[in-house]
Amino acid sequence: MPPSTSLPETPTLEQQHSGIPSRLLPKATNAKSLIYDGKTVSDTVSLQRGLPVPQGISLKAFLAAIEELKSVIGAQNVQLNDKEVKNGWYMEHPNTHDMMPLLDSEEFIASAVVYPGSVEDVQAIVIWANKHLIPLSPISLGRNLGYGGSAPRVRGAVTIDLGRRMNRILDINAQDYTCLVEPGVTFYALYEEIQKRGLGDKMWIDVPDLGGGSVLGNTLDRGVGYTPYGDHWAVHSGLEVVLPDPSARVVRTGMGALPGENTWQSFPYGFGPFNDGIFSQSNFGVVTKMGMTLMPNPGGYESFMYTFQNESDLAPLMDIIRPLRISMILENVAQLRHCLQTLAVKGQPRTKYFKGTGLMPEEIVHEELKNTPVGDFVWVYYGMSYGPPHIRKHKLAIVDAEFRRIPGCRKIDPSTLPPNEYFWSRDRIAAGIPDLVELAWVNWMPNGSHIAFSPVSPISGDDAVKLWNLAKKRHTENGLDLMPAFCVGLREMHLIVEIVFDATDKDMRKRAEKCLRDMIEDAAALGYGEYRTHIALMDQVASTYSWNDNSLMKLNNTLKDALDPNGILAPGRCGIWPARYRNRGWELKGGESSSEGNGVSPGPGEIKL
Ligand code: EUG
């Protein structure tokens, strides 16, 4: 590895749609050097298996089809993936494969990447794919890290990188507090544009832990942010979708169906069935535009942070949080984090604290935390109160009285914390200011990669403890450090357990997969299902939603066959397989070394429900 001082500078938003805002460039430089310090192998890998031609087409026919596509959308907008792949890092990520591979890095990999510049180009690509029966895999930014990133589920699918050339903010409506975006608009870009137009005092956006993702892509995957508008899907309004059948028809949902409409972004439903849902976490259409509502500046805000000293505080604390959250005294998707993640987010490798193998000893974590400005703890709650001071005062007093029912609870005074303390990153994010700090815990392991276990549960002490115990059991069995964060929604919580692993360590990858699959199974047995998952785990997660003889998947299959009769769009995404792939062993159940099934049927396939 070259010394990190010689790394090229991270591209900025001025230079490219996926770039970092200039205000965050020093942070990006620092984050990048920490990540590159942790890489023990070359960043570029030449493809051992050559061009990953998708099943069902010969190399010769595939290459001829690629030439044909070049003549339709321009040769410069079609790139074959036949030489090498580069892993990069969050800000300079690949669009060809999963840079954090759970299986071999040549499994979830594209044969080519295409760059449409318009909705018409997207239609042309869909028509082309139907003609040649070539699988497509659309991405917006491809920063769905922990869930497969930019990778296609089917080896050799042609990735449609929508974001590179379709990244306009089409509208920011300062009267209705809405916007309309293309796939390539990141949270960073939307935030900067609102500031640039002088609207920053008036309106906020809602941002996830990292701001480099696509607003549209994150919302379609039902991502989460940390202002009161944190449920992105719930606050979107209006989609434009290219359908995957050979007609490649363009549809606008909700009010967008009415020519000359004036409420596409302010009334999501329109008339008739509310279709938006079938285009989220699915493979039923290529979304090319999305409306999003924006939050009025609440007129002030104040972050707060409480620490709790005992593992056993988890249950009573959750039971305290639930009524406060449902009644909106706790106003945002707040996080209750475990101390190990707080240590890891400092960005240093685990070996800095512990040279041994096996699990990170708890005593060492507590010894380290004692010497930090926050001090030692087991759980930490990050929240924010919104509104002018006289309104915040009453809400914060209730929170304080309730949290202090837990013996040993400490409220940390933010004025005692240095500017680089993680608290300030949570503070910015809960105020809708996108940041780049969260990433740092990937450095816990060399070649740090992460993959999430994300079950949904009621907000209750009993449920939190059950999930904590099952995660702990499976992590211990597999020798993996456990770093849970409970993200508390309004009436449910998402537990997010990110397993950090060394992607070059085959044995560790196997243990991570075993741990994830066992947790999914254990959770399902207790009534918990995941809100989102990695492409390698989608078949398993989908199979847990099996009520009444898998009737939900049967409905999804009916929709898939009707909308995508040739099965070209993102086969296998969210466990939904087109007829051409069904019953041919494409589903991943665990332990496989190949992500592929045994062929595809030559025609539209037998539709059997
Ligand atoms: C995080 C949160 C998520 C998710 C993946 C990661 C944050 C980790 C609430 O949803 O799906 C610290």
Best of 224, 337, 437, 439 to mutate for ligand 1, by most ligand atoms within 8 A of CB? 224
Neighbours of 417 (CB within 10 A): 17
Closest ligand 1 atom number to CA of residue 146: 5
Say how far apart CA 167 and CA 48 lie, in whole Å. 34
For ligand 1, atom 4, the nearest C-alpha belongs to 496
Summarize the chain as % helix, strand, coil (round to 5).
35, 20, 45
DSSP 407-441: TT-EE--GGGS-TTSHHHHHHHHHTT---S-GGGG
Q: Is the CB of 337 under 6 A from ligand 1?
A: no
Beta-bridge mates of residue 448: 502
Cα 62 to middle of ligand 1, angstroms: 38
pLDDT in tens, 19-58: 999 999 999 999 999 999 999 999 999 999 999 999 999 9
Look up tokens 């018409």; give the residue: 120
SS3 readout for 543-575: HHCCHHHHHHHHHHHHHHHHHCCCCCECCCHHH
Q: Is the CB of 485 under 6 A from ligand 1?
A: yes
List the beta strands (DSSP E) in 253-317: 286-293, 295-296, 301-308
Kind plus residue range of the DSSP H or E element containing 180: strand 178-181
Closest ligand 1 atom number to CA of residue 454: 11
Phi, psi angles (nearest 5°) of residue 151:
-75, 145
Q: Is the CB of 438 under 6 A from ligand 1?
A: yes
By annotation, the residues acting in catalysis are 147, 531-532
DSSP 302-345: EEEEEEE--GGGHHHHHHHHHHHHHTTSS-S-EEEEEHHHHHHT
Q: Is the CB of 452 under 6 A from ligand 1?
A: yes
Say how far apart CA 564 and CA 130 lie, in whole Å. 9
Say how far apart CA 349 and CA 299 lie, in whole Å. 40
Closest ligand 1 atom number to CA of residue 441: 12
Structure tokens at 28: 């990006």
Residues 94 and 86 sit within 8 Å (Cβ to Cβ): yes
Position 413 scores a pLDDT of: 97
10-residue mean pLDDT profile of the chain (609 residues): values are 72 98 97 96 95 97 98 98 96 97 94 98 98 98 97 98 98 98 98 98 98 98 97 98 98 98 98 98 98 98 98 98 97 94 96 95 97 97 98 97 98 97 98 96 97 98 98 98 96 97 97 98 98 98 98 98 97 98 95 93 66
**What single letter denotes the amino acid at residue 189?**
A
Residues 533 and 147 sit within 8 Å (Cβ to Cβ): yes
Say how far apart CA 456 and CA 487 lie, in whole Å. 10
Say how far apart CA 387 and CA 228 lie, in whole Å. 12
Number of H helices, E strands in the chain: 14, 22
Q: Is the CB of 574 under 6 A from ligand 1?
A: no
Secondary structure (3-state) at 450: strand
Closest CA to 497 of 474, 463, 477: 474
Residues 202 and 297 sit within 8 Å (Cβ to Cβ): yes
Residues 234 and 531 sit within 8 Å (Cβ to Cβ): no
Structure tokens at 410: 């400490």
Look up tokens 């996926």; give the residue: 18
Cα 542 to middle of ligand 1, angstroms: 20
Q: Is the CB of 502 under 6 A from ligand 1?
A: no
Kind plus residue range of the DSSP H or E element containing 467: helix 461-477
Best of 487, 516, 532 to mutate for ligand 1, by most ligand atoms within 8 A of CB? 487
Cα 496 to middle of ligand 1, angstroms: 6
For ligand 1, atom 8, the nearest C-alpha belongs to 496
Q: Is the CB of 224 under 6 A from ligand 1?
A: yes
Structure tokens at 51: 């061009």
Closest ligand 1 atom number to CA of residue 452: 5
Phi-psi region of 245 (alpha: psi -120 to 50; beta: other; left: phi over 0): beta
Cα 25 to middle of ligand 1, angstroms: 23
Kind plus residue range of the DSSP H or E element containing 125: helix 119-132
Say how far apart CA 26 and CA 131 lie, in whole Å. 48
Q: Is the CB of 530 under 6 A from ligand 1?
A: no
Cα 112 to middle of ligand 1, angstroms: 29
Closest ligand 1 atom number to CA of residue 531: 11
Between vectors from CA 476 to CA 470 and to CA 477, what angle results, nearest 5°? 90
Q: Is the CB of 496 under 6 A from ligand 1?
A: yes
Cα 576 to middle of ligand 1, angstroms: 23
Position 608 scores a pLDDT of: 52
Look up tokens 């002030």; give the residue: 300
For ligand 1, atom 9, the nearest C-alpha belongs to 224
Say how far apart CA 54 and CA 572 lie, in whole Å. 14
Domains annotated on the chain, with CATH: 4-161 (3.30.43.10), 169-296 (3.30.465.10), 302-539 (3.40.462.10)
- CA quadruple 504, 508, 512, 517: dihedral, nearest 10: 110
Closest ligand 1 atom number to CA of residue 333: 9
Closest CA to 146 of 531, 416, 576: 531
Look up tokens 């960073």; give the residue: 188
Structure tokens at 258: 């009415």
Q: How many residues belong to the chain?
A: 609
Cα 418 to middle of ligand 1, angstroms: 25
Structure tokens at 120: 């018409």
Distance between alpha carbon 188 and the CA centroid of its chain, in Å? 15
Cα 454 to middle of ligand 1, angstroms: 8
For ligand 1, atom 10, the nearest C-alpha belongs to 224
Q: Is the CB of 146 under 6 A from ligand 1?
A: yes
Say how far apart CA 507 and CA 373 lie, in whole Å. 37
Closest CA to 235 of 487, 432, 18, 425: 432
Position 1 scores a pLDDT of: 47
Cα 322 to middle of ligand 1, angstroms: 20
Say how far apart CA 509 and CA 515 lie, in whole Å. 10
Position 5 scores a pLDDT of: 59
Best of 144, 209, 333, 338 to mutate for ligand 1, by most ligand atoms within 8 A of CB? 209
Cα 558 to middle of ligand 1, angstroms: 31
The contacts of residue 537 (CB under 8 Å, 6+ apart) are: 516, 517, 520, 530, 588
Say how far apart CA 378 and CA 313 lie, in whole Å. 9
Best of 335, 435, 437, 454 to mutate for ligand 1, by most ligand atoms within 8 A of CB? 454
